[in-house]
Amino acid sequence: MTSTKNIPFWHLLFCLFVLSSSCSTAQNNAKVKTTPTPAETAHQPKLIVGITVDQMRYDYIEKFWEDLSEDGFKKLVNEGFFARNLHYNYMPTFTGPGHAAIYTGTTPAFNGIIANDWYERSSNKMVYCSSDSTVSGVGTNSAAGKMSPHYLTSTTLGDELKLFSNQRSKVIGIAMKDRGAILPAGRTADAAYWFVGGNEGVWATSTWYMDSLPNWVVDYNAKRVPETVMSKSWDFLLPTEKYDESMEDNNAFELPFKGLTRPVMPYSMSELRAQNSNYDLIKATPFGNSLTAEFGKQVIEKEQLGKDEHTDMLCMSFSSTDYVGHQFGIHSKELQDCYLRLDRDIADFIKYLDATVGKGNYLIFLSADHAGAPTPSYVMENKGAAGYWKSDRLEEKVQNFLTEKYGEGSWIVNETNQNIFLNRTLIREKKLSLKSIQMDVSDFVADQENILMAFNAADLSRIGDKSPMAVRAQLGFHQRHSGDVIYILDSGYMEYGMQGTTHGSPFTYDTHVPALFYGFGVKQGETFQPQTICDIAPTVAAICKLPLPSSAIGSPINTLVK
């Protein structure tokens, strides 16, 4: 051991000075590294932006990756959190139920939105998921304004935010589709605006929310922005050789616009508007998404969202992807171009949020209300398992079966969305057992060609361990709204035309959707762990320190939350 007696005094002083300086520097550096920014110390974000992309499959991000910009979907993936194995856990996978599930954290069994349209026994008629005869349109005099969330029986994230802040937070929903604006925002929202096409071309709402449009919406509608869109041509965003992920532009599996014989780009908006419901044409092109994004900026600016100490929420649904997918199918160049343009719209919107709300001050979550199936005619041509279905034929077979077994009578009152509604009045008059007939019909239906499974209401009303498909049917079953028998078609089968595609099944091509989180409270990463659509709302609630929606059955994605 070296003695200090042999070290000169000046040398000891020098060593003490260096040590003191090093400690001081280390402490200062530690302070720099650990001093959080205001955004990092905030209890909640200033603004929550929920984005629903209508009919977006999970694989589109991977499929179109090379042609995406750096600041749109890629930014959300590279700087945010990507839940890559998230599925819908119920059927049917439609727009209304999907939007409701994302924001309520639960399924149709508990939020009341079982489909876009369903048969209502009490009134003996079909009802629409956001129709409401007790309200009037605001900004429109047409039936398109008679909409509200009155069928929604669970609170949404927005509802919980309003309650949490004692009504001081603002919650607003916007979309091309009324249900895409109304159901996410919830029952207590400050506003929901949707685009009324036809010959109007305006953003409107209903008396559920207000008696008259705010001046800024009136002024915006007066600018006739949609009319500028009608002078455009929908052509490829990128050189055509970039679209090698999709089919040839002219093929037999896509549905042309009315007035055209071939589904071939470019499309002149001015030439097509007369035969395609005028301003409704916008919804079926990428320009509908762009209009939605631009209107979203107006909402943030005019309503001063994210400008005070109370968290606000904007629910945005990009609907045009669904219209394009239905018409042209998932393999079309039109669909690819729609997503490439949406990618740029999202990039621009993120840039706007950074400039107005501030980077780190907002939370974005993005998912889809359902995915989309491959076009059966295209799959069949390539020797895949797929086909088409006619529900009318099944209804006739069930009617004949019941007549033969139980006698004459109109045994079926409705068949919708693969739900069979029995004539319960007739069954009571004949003093028969409803449960027995439900079981007879489900057994009969299950034996039919191209039907994978059939369930009766008696079984679905009981909770038990069942197959994954049975669970999805059960979580989509509502005792008051659903039918007496529900059936599932074979994989790849649908009731639709030979061109374009649809959705609604419990199979992965309709259930697997992306879930992206970006911004406030989100650490970068990804997970392949199984998640359900019901996990999105609890995750957002955990990040933002909010109560769960009233009927939420999902759980937060633990690997996501900081």
Q: Residue 383 burial (CB < 10 Å; 0-12/13-18/19+)?
A: exposed
The Cα 302–Cα 290 span in angstroms is: 18
Query: Which strand (E) or helix (H) includes residue 412?
Result: strand 412-416
Q: Residue 49 in contact with residue 103, Cβ under 8 Å?
A: no
Hey, what CATH topology would domain 47-380+502-543 get?
Alkaline Phosphatase, subunit A (3.40.720)
Confidence (pLDDT) at 459: 85
Long-range contacts for 219-227 (Cβ within 8 Å, ≥24 apart)?
220/295, 220/298, 221/139, 225/291, 225/294, 226/201, 226/202, 226/279, 226/282, 226/291, 227/201
The Cα 492–Cα 217 span in angstroms is: 44
Kindly report the backbone phi and psi dihedral angles of residue 118, in degrees, each rounded to the nearest multiple of 5, phi listed first.
-150, 165
> Catalytic residue at 95?
yes
Q: Residue 265 burial (CB < 10 Å; 0-12/13-18/19+)?
A: middle
Confidence (pLDDT) at 41: 56
**Taking phi first (over 0 means left), then psi (-120 to 50 degrees means alpha), and beta for anything else, what does residue 492 get?**
left
Domains 47-380+502-543 and 390-449+451-489 share a fold: no
Confidence (pLDDT) at 286: 98
Q: Residue 399 burial (CB < 10 Å; 0-12/13-18/19+)?
A: middle
Kindly report the backbone phi and psi dihedral angles of residue 300, in degrees, each rounded to the nearest multiple of 5, phi listed first.
-60, -45
Q: Residue 76 in contact with residue 88, Cβ under 8 Å?
A: no
First to last CA, the chain: 49
Confidence (pLDDT) at 262: 96
Confidence (pLDDT) at 40: 53
Provide the residue type at 534 as one letter: C
The Cα 169–Cα 155 span in angstroms is: 16
Q: What does the pLDDT look like over 462-480, one tens digit per residue?
A: 766 678 889 999 999 998 8
Name the stretches of the chain with pLDDT < 70: 1-42, 463-465, 562
Cβ atoms within 10 A of the Cβ of 545, count?
12
SS3 of 219, please? helix
The domain segmentation of the chain, as residue ranges, is 47-380+502-543, 390-449+451-489
- In degrees, to the nearest 5, what angle opens at C-alpha 180 toward C-alphas 175 and 184? 110
Q: Residue 212 in contact with residue 274, Cβ under 8 Å?
A: no
The Cα 278–Cα 560 span in angstroms is: 44
Contacts (Cβ under 8 Å, ≥6 apart) of 226: 201, 202, 279, 282, 291
Beta-strand runs (E) in 182-302: 191-196, 202-206, 233-234, 267-268
Check 25, 37, 41, 95 and give the catalytic one: 95
Confidence (pLDDT) at 463: 63
Contacts (Cβ under 8 Å, ≥6 apart) of 371: 55, 56, 57, 58, 93, 503, 509, 510, 511, 512, 513
Hey, what CATH topology would domain 390-449+451-489 get?
Gyrase A; domain 2 (3.30.1360)
Confidence (pLDDT) at 561: 80
Residue 212 carries which DSSP code? S
Residue written as tokens 């979907």? 73
Q: What does the pLDDT look like over 11-55, one tens digit per residue?
A: 433 443 333 444 444 444 433 444 455 555 568 999 999 999 999
Kindly report the backbone phi and psi dihedral angles of residue 51, in degrees, each rounded to the nearest multiple of 5, phi listed first.
-115, 125
Length of the chain measured in residues = 562
